Amino acid sequence: MNRAAMLLLDILYPNRCDCCNDRIPYDMLLCEECIGLLLGQRIDFADWAQNHPAHPWTAGTALFSYADAARTGVLAMKDGRRGFCRFSAKLLAESLAETAGIDFVTWVPVTRSRRRQQGFAHAEYLAECIAEELGIPSRGGLLQEQAGSVRQHDLPAAEREIYAQRFTGTGADLRGMHILLADDILTTGATLRRCTSLLLEMGAARVDIAVICAGVKVSLRDD
Ligand SMILES: [Zn+2]
């Protein structure tokens, strides 16, 4: 885009930071201040994994504690805004750079009616952004969510495992595939455990997960 077009766009449709809503230049995904805050919220996935049951995936990556700037960013992402999502996809791709051999990225689906209602699925967009950063394809149609009446965040942990049974596989042939499964938030992990197991049942050789936020307290990374 040339400079004149950028200036015109800036007047007509100001670019705003998903985390604080301040105006930002067109070539920025978030404002400098929020980027600084987010980097201070980085977590180590191992901290989450330590306090949760055995999981079926091989490797996992999470970026931020689910609070403050990251929480606002996830909420903006659910509203269809994309700056925070793209910023997170870049960081996820960086931390996955050493995980060679991923065949494609897929995502935790939402029910058809919810997707229709929203007009998009945010985890799908996240998966597409990560795939683009990694230079590999994204692929949907592997998992499906059956409609249910309960919102998961209202459920206690034990019931989430049962509720996660609403996800089913489509019977795709995934033999030998190394898959990256993306979602926005990891709390108890019930959804990602279920979805990972389904991909493995369909023949996947290995599933890794990538999430933006995990529900753990802030602990600064050593690096
Ligand atoms: Zn900001």
How far apart are the CA of 105 and the centre of ligand 1, in A? 28
Q: Measure 87 CA to ligand 1 centroid, in angstroms.
A: 12
Q: Note if the pTM is more than 0.85.
A: yes
Q: Which two tokens stand for residue 183?
A: 């979602």
83 C-alpha vs ligand 1 centroid, how far in Å?
A: 10
The structural domains of the chain, with segments of one domain joined by +, span: 42-214
Q: Is pLDDT above 90 for 220?
A: no
pLDDT in tens, 116-140: 887 778 999 999 999 999 999 999 9
DSSP bridge partners of 181: 106, 209
Distance (Å) from CA 20 to ligand 1 centroid: 4
Work out the end-to-end distance of the chain between its first and last CA atoms, rounded to an integer number of angstroms: 36
Distance in angstroms (rounded) separating the CA atoms of residues 75 and 80: 9
Parallel/antiparallel/unpaired status of strands 143-145 and 167-169: antiparallel
How many angstroms separate the alpha carbon of residue 24 from the centre of ligand 1? 8
Spatial separation of the C-alpha atoms in residues 126 and 123, rounded to whole Å: 5
Q: How far apart are the CA of 220 and the centre of ligand 1, in A?
A: 20
Instruction: Using the mean position of ligand 1's atoms as its centre, give its distance from the Cα of residue 31 in Å.
Output: 4
What is the β-pairing status of strands 206-214 and 178-186?
parallel
Inform me whether the pLDDT recorded for 13 exceeds 50: yes
Q: Report how far ligand 1's centroid is from the alpha carbon of 22 (Å).
A: 6
Distance 183 CA to ligand 1 centre (A): 22
- Please tell me the distance between residue 35's alpha carbon and the centre of ligand 1 in angstroms: 7
Residue with tokens 């995502």: 107
- The CATH class given to the 42-214 domain equals alpha beta
Residue 164 CA to residue 23 CA, distance in Å, equals 39
Predicted confidence (pLDDT) per residue in 167-197, tens digit: 999 999 999 999 999 999 998 899 999 999 9
Q: What is the pLDDT of residue 11?
A: 79
Q: Which pair of structure tokens corresponds to residue 16?
A: 């705003």
Q: Which two tokens stand for residue 45?
A: 């996935």
